Chains A and B, each alone.
Chain A
Amino acid sequence: MKPASGWHPHRYLPHTGAEIEKMLRVAGVASLEDLFAEIPADIRMKRPLELSPALPEGELLAHLQRLADKNAHADRMISFLGAGAYDHEIPSVVWRLAGRAEFVTAYTPYQAEVMQGELQAAYEYQTMLCELTGMEVANASMYDGASALGEAAVMARDLTGRNRVLTSSAVHPHYREVLRTYTRHQGIEVVEVPHRDGVTPVGEIRAAAGPETAAVIVQSPNVFGCIEQSSALAQAAHEAGALLIAAVAEPISMGLLRPPGDYGADIVAGEGQPLGNHLNYGGPYLGMFAARREFVRRMPGRLVGMTTDRDGRRGFVLTIQTREQHIRREKATSNICTNEALNALAAAVYMAALGPTGIRRVAEVNARRAHYAMERLTALPGISRAFAAPVFNEFVVRTPLPPEQLNARLGERGFLGGLALGAWYPELPDGWLVCVTEARTRGQIDAFVEAVKETIAR
């Protein structure tokens, strides 16, 4: 049998039949089959993989386009859907730069001398995230906001030696689910404090926080879009000797609202998707993680630090890696190995594109348009605000029709309606969480309100 018989040239593989034969000879192997001689015969596949035949590029793309066309994406529908993922404008420059192949096809910067671009970009991202959150140190990114929160709870336990975390029920339900998954086997008890009228009751947090409490977890704006009394909640946590973990699902809010560092947060765990990252049906997203300086050696994830080379030139390296799994193994601060470096890069380009005035302006437009939409919607008969607390770019209204039904009818008219909250909060079967970002124009909002009006009148 000729060694390269049955070899099919493929566009991603450089090998020709003649080369394969030469290489086999150099390697001292008789055939491709013989390369696998050490694998026991009874576990070798005796049939080809049952996969559909290889597609040429044109057919491949056409197939994917057909699948993509079945989805009601945000260019096809006018979207008022938020709840943890946000449709913001992304300047072209963001992915033209972050999407450069030198960034996209690179690996973790283990050889710092040839990875200064990646490392410097991460250092700059860390800085920008500190600025945005008002915190002192930030890592180079984590998987997403929810898993970052899970890691934050474990870190708080390690820092305080206490085994209970209190979380408001107004924290995004996915975040709380992930929190429970992460803490279940670590001897950490998660206690939920129910929201009252859409916000976290400070008195009940104060009453629940005690000497066992490692951290109080609060999200502001919370899952209902409501802005929390964060300073008072931080104070309540600190009075009990606990840390305040600020969960952030919509970082654009920090362009306008007091950032966690200003209201006393000790750890920030958040979702960075809104900072220049696409919706991507849920991922890849960007876990943001920041903390007070003295906690840095307990932080999970990768850190990039500034240093100098032998000639005294500035340079950047991965640092305090002794916290990490490849050195500390089972005693590491977490098992995190991969991060979301590319998404962090996009977030950095986005933040740099906006600058301090731009991020404020974008945040203001979010708030103004959301408030405009809220006023117009609540002027319709049968629609009222569910909660009185101030909001940023999302709000809950009660609807006269079940929200699922309302959404279905709006869908027929080209609108992606708000989130029906009943699945997450059974006490709010008529709760409809509507999100309005700067990507929704006044014209779109007016058309949406009109469609809602006609739908509920039908």
Chain B
Amino acid sequence: MTMPVIFERSVPGRIASAPPAPDVPEAPMETIVGEEHLRETPPALPEVSELDLVRHYTRLSHRNYSVDAGFYPLGSCTMKYNPKVNEDAAGLAGFARLHPNTPAPLAQGALELLWRLEQMLCEISGMDRVTFQPAAGAHGEMTALMMIRAYLEDRGERRTRVIVPDSAHGTNPASAAMCGFEVTTVRSDARGNIDHAALRRAADGSVAALMLTNPNTLGLFEEGVCEVAEIVHNCGALMYLDGANFNAMLGITRPGDQGFDAMHINVHKTFGTPHGGGGPGAGPVAVKRLLEPYMPAPTVEREGDRFLLDGDRPKSIGRVRAFNGNFGIFVRAYAYLLAYGPLLRQVSEAAVLNANYLLALLRPHFDLPYDRRCMHEFVLSGRRQKEQYGIRTLEMAKRLLDYGFHAPTVYFPLSVSEAIMIEPTETESRQTLDEFADAMIRVAGECATDPETVRNAPHSTVVTRLDEVAASRKLNLRWAAGGRRGS
């Protein structure tokens, strides 16, 4: 059944809110703001009652896959359980209703929270300082590269290149480009590590930084990370960690001890803050002392028993966002860390255990491009199914939806053909992993026995396979007033 858009529910004259009466003298609007500034036609927003509104969005929510409803094996996206108490914490009036321009003496609790969180993040990452401004991981990448660039320029060096491994997230090269760097891609070796010989050839005085993901996007730990850091530092460049996979090493090993100078932390991936259908997130950047002067202003500082925002930072790269970062997300992250304390190490132990367990169940049924012990995620290849039965990985992914599972990440990393990237996370139980493995194995079997069913999947969802080509050729990005299909 087609679900109406809210504009089709609209009946002129209905309203779902009761704005207050002005209760002050009612001069004509023309005299208050000036006739020439008044809006001529009202926006064609929906006109619905409160119950219409509640039913509409409740029904939409039923058409959504979420962590609370099921397993999300979405590799590299790290979709773990989002603890409920964190929502209560972030909803406290003292946080949710706090204005960002509140003078520091009246916002001591919020500043103390950020200060304490910074101490915790430094301990976990092995870094010295943290900026809370970046609103997302990719925003953090950009911020960190700007700090690195400012640091180098302060030393009189104008370096133009950033090295990015071929398996890196697409945000890495895009962020480098936004900071005015050329991107040099370096390939992986046969074990899935960055190729040291290729890195040595690429690393010269024009390189500003290496952006490395560790564990990398194949789910493998960079075995030679210390040598990589040495090569990079020897040419005068800095080491940047894409913290997307930080969930694998909490309390096990610290990026600061591996030779990294800066990293971003994807708060939703690492500390289980909810991701709201694609955001909000937060991308705090942790740095070694040498980058501290360049942090976005303001920073959170402690003086005795008072906390303050320090905006007097002459070497700062400037703001990357208005106000104090996605504070509400940091309340959740702080609550998450308080719930674990030193037991945080178990998060990574369980995440890596779950991935290795699931890999053991699946390895007889799929190709495994790099046969090593995986960290918190692993990459399979659907090459066998494609070659033998002509079934593409995307089709298998869609078939999994029929079994009630979200699909894994597919076609990433780009360096693996027909890639299937699976990340169970630590909060999934053995039973869930067994059920998911069963579904994967059944789909692999169906490629031989019932390929048409796989090819035309999904069958049980509220819509069948959607025409993405038509969507991009004949763009329809908005509903037009009057009920016509718009453009």
Contacts and interface: CB of A to CB of B under 8 A. Distances in A.
Contacts of A180: 318
Nearest to B67: A105
A343 B88 CA distance: 17
Interface string A318-334: 01111011111111101
Which of B137, B353, B486 counts the most chain A CB atoms within 10 A? B353
B322 A144 contact: yes
Interface in B219-265: 220-221, 223, 225-226, 249-254, 257-258
Nearest to A86: B99
Interface string A205-248: 00000000000000000000001000000000000000000000
Contacts of B7: 124, 127
Given A32-B349, A67-B112, A68-B94, A283 B357 contact: no
Interface in B396-417: 397-398, 401, 406-407, 409, 412
Contacts of A7: 346
A54 B466 contact: no
A141 B21 CA distance: 32
Contacts of A141: 279
Interface in B432-473: 456, 458, 461-468, 470-472
B206 interface: no
Given A104-B66, A280-B95, A319 B180 contact: no
Interface in B162-201: 169-171, 173-180, 183
B37 A390 contact: yes
B277 A278 contact: no
Given A104-B82, A278-B96, A345 B342 contact: no
A401 interface: no
Nearest to A339: B279
B64 A117 contact: yes
A129 to B, nearest CB: 9
A36 B254 CA distance: 13
A330 B477 contact: no
Interface residues of A, number: 211
A364 B486 CA distance: 30
Contact of B477 (A132, A137, A332): A137
Interface in A357-386: 357-362, 364-365, 367-369, 371-372
A107 B277 contact: yes
B418 interface: no
A289 interface: no
Given A109-B278, A283-B324, A314-B2, A329 B170 contact: yes
Contact of A117 (B20, B25, B61, B107): B61
Nearest to A181: B318
Interface stretch (A70-78, A155-163, A194-202): A70-78
Given A100-B57, A371-B32, A282 B327 contact: yes
B65 to A, nearest CB: 4
Report the contact-size class of chain B (Cβ under 8 Å from the partner): 35 or more
A454 interface: no
B277 A308 contact: no
Contact of A335 (B102, B171, B343): B171
A331 B481 CA distance: 35
A351 B47 CA distance: 10
Contact of B458 (A100, A113, A118): A113
B319 A325 contact: no
Contact of B401 (A113, A326, A390): A113
Which of B38, B100, B356, B478 counts the most chain A CB atoms within 10 A? B478
B353 A35 contact: yes
Given A51-B123, A335-B141, A309 B251 contact: no
B279 A185 contact: no
A20 B353 contact: yes
Contacts of B458: 113-114
Contacts of A87: 97, 99
Given A127-B478, A355-B16, A177 B65 contact: no
A55 B334 CA distance: 12
Interface in B34-88: 34, 37-40, 42-48, 50, 53-54, 56-69, 72, 74, 77, 79, 81-83, 85, 87-88
A178 B296 CA distance: 10
22 contacts: A12-B272, A49-B123, A53-B341, A68-B94, A71-B108, A99-B87, A107-B275, A138-B477, A227-B37, A259-B39, A280-B90, A280-B326, A281-B110, A283-B327, A305-B471, A340-B135, A341-B279, A351-B45, A358-B19, A368-B24, A368-B32, A392-B33
Given A330-B173, A360-B39, 14 more contacts: A23-B356, A29-B356, A38-B221, A43-B226, A73-B96, A118-B60, A154-B178, A180-B318, A187-B180, A281-B324, A330-B177, A335-B142, A341-B277, A355-B17
